[in-house]
Amino acid sequence: MRIPLAAAAVIIALAAPARADSTVVASIKPLHSLVAGVMKGVDTPELLIPGTTSPHTFSLKPSDARKLEQARVVFWIGPGLETALEHPLETLAADATVETLMNAPGLTQRKFDGDHDHGHDDSEKDDHAEDAHAGHHHGPQDPHIWLDPDNARAMITAIAGTLSDVMPEHARAFEANAAHLTAELDRLKTEVSAILEPVWFKPFLTFHDSLGHFAARFGLAAGEAISLNPEIKPGAKRIAELRREVVEDGFACAFIEPQFDPSIARVIVEGSGVRIATLDPLGSTIDAGPELYSSLIREIATTLRDCMSG
């Protein structure tokens, strides 16, 4: 049974032990990996949202609330991704330093493609309007910023700066780790570009618009998303439109995500010959830790190449 958030906050405030001075929390696995890399040799950050759970639909448990209440520093992408964390960060983590990586200096921002709304029936448009009014939506900017290694570089710089401000006694270690990580990112970009070279021109279908930053960084053909918002299922008109597009535009592959129901994607590509593969932007099957980020980007590239090359 879930304890209401307000009640959980009261219980934690009365019963939780004093906050550990070095407690650092990161919201999702890719971000946790970058934070863990910067903190290597100093401490290990806590992971809040497991990779098997979508940050779009994450529900805070009492144990999660305890992590936030005890945190000294919290790193998250922002309300466009981890929507349910916005209020808890203001209350449970009120005494912590909260770093919103969506605002990291030097970050390359990307707007969602408004064309993805074409073909939605009226009921879908109503759902989108209602969803936007409630605040449960991506917003105009694509929050999947970690899928661009150049954005990861900007995030690492911001992470190291924040940690150094909060724990100045470890600033030199954070700076050295950040320099090592950014050098690894340069090598990773070169490797991934070579992996994708045979298929960069082939269009593909994704469950929702999560690969835009990755595709833009590595020069891939523009992908098409089934839905802009993973919480809203596409209507019949949108599904019919996509069924035509995958054939007419020569889509090579459709990518599903383990955090979401794949049945709609299967309906769209049924009978078209388009292959289906699982592509996970959160790295749910990769062990959490400093090595996850490079493994995740490499795995995405390999999955794209293998599926689209047939």
**What is the torsion angle, in degrees rounded to the nearest 10, for the CA atoms of residue 213, residue 286, residue 258 and residue 107?**
-20
CATH number assigned to the domain comprising residue 240: 3.40.50.1980
What average pLDDT does this structure show over 109-118? 62
Supply the pLDDT for residue 22.
53
Name the pLDDT band for 188 (thresholds 50, 70, 90): very high
Question: Does residue 282 have a pLDDT over 70?
Answer: yes
What average pLDDT does this structure show over 138-152? 90
Q: What are phi and psi of 25, to 5 degrees?
A: -120, 135
Tell me, yes or no, whether 127 and 99 share the same domain. Answer: no
Q: Please, is 216 exposed, middle or buried when counting C-beta atoms within 10 Å of its C-beta (0-12, 13-18, 19+)?
A: middle
Name the percent of the chain lying above pLDDT 90: 58
On whether residue 109 sits in a domain, the answer given is no
On whether residue 298 sits in a domain, the answer given is yes
- pLDDT, tens digit, for every residue of 66-78? 999 999 999 999 9
What DSSP string describes 154-214? HHHHHHHHHHHHH-GGGHHHHHHHHHHHHHHHHHHHHHHHHHHGGGTT--EEEEES--HHH
Across 57-61, 127-131, 188-192, least confident range: 127-131
Structural domain span for residue 211: 114-141+197-309
Tell me, yes or no, whether 234 and 96 share the same domain. Answer: no
Name the pLDDT band for 273 (thresholds 50, 70, 90): confident
CB 115: neighbour CB atoms within 10 A?
11
Tell me, yes or no, whether 241 and 149 share the same domain. Answer: no
Tell me, yes or no, whether 270 and 252 share the same domain. Answer: yes
CA pair distance 97, 89, nearest whole angstrom: 10
Tell me, yes or no, whether 298 and 231 share the same domain. Answer: yes
Name the pLDDT band for 130 (thresholds 50, 70, 90): very low
Tell me, yes or no, whether 260 and 239 share the same domain. Answer: yes
Tell me, yes or no, whether 70 and 175 share the same domain. Answer: yes
Cα 225 to the center of its chain, rounded Å? 16
Supply the pLDDT for residue 139.
63
Across 77-86, 139-148, 174-183, 255-264, least confident range: 255-264
Q: What is the DSSP letter of 44?
A: -
CA torsion sign, 40 to 43 to 46 to 52?
Answer: positive
User: Count of domains in the chain?
Assistant: 2
What average pLDDT does this structure show over 82-87? 92
- Look at the pTM and tell me if it is higher than 0.95: no
* Secondary structure of 92-109 in HEC code, one letter for each residue: CCCCCEEEEHHHCCCCCC
Tell me, yes or no, whether 301 and 158 share the same domain. Answer: no
Between 139 and 128, the higher pLDDT residue: 139
For residue 14, give the amino acid letter.
L
Domain boundary, last residue among 123, 154, 186? 186
CB 83: neighbour CB atoms within 10 A?
21
- pLDDT, tens digit, for every residue of 230-267? 667 788 888 888 888 888 888 889 998 887 777 888 88
Tell me, yes or no, whether 174 and 250 share the same domain. Answer: no
Across 17-21, 226-230, 263-267, least confident range: 17-21
Tell me, yes or no, whether 158 and 57 share the same domain. Answer: yes
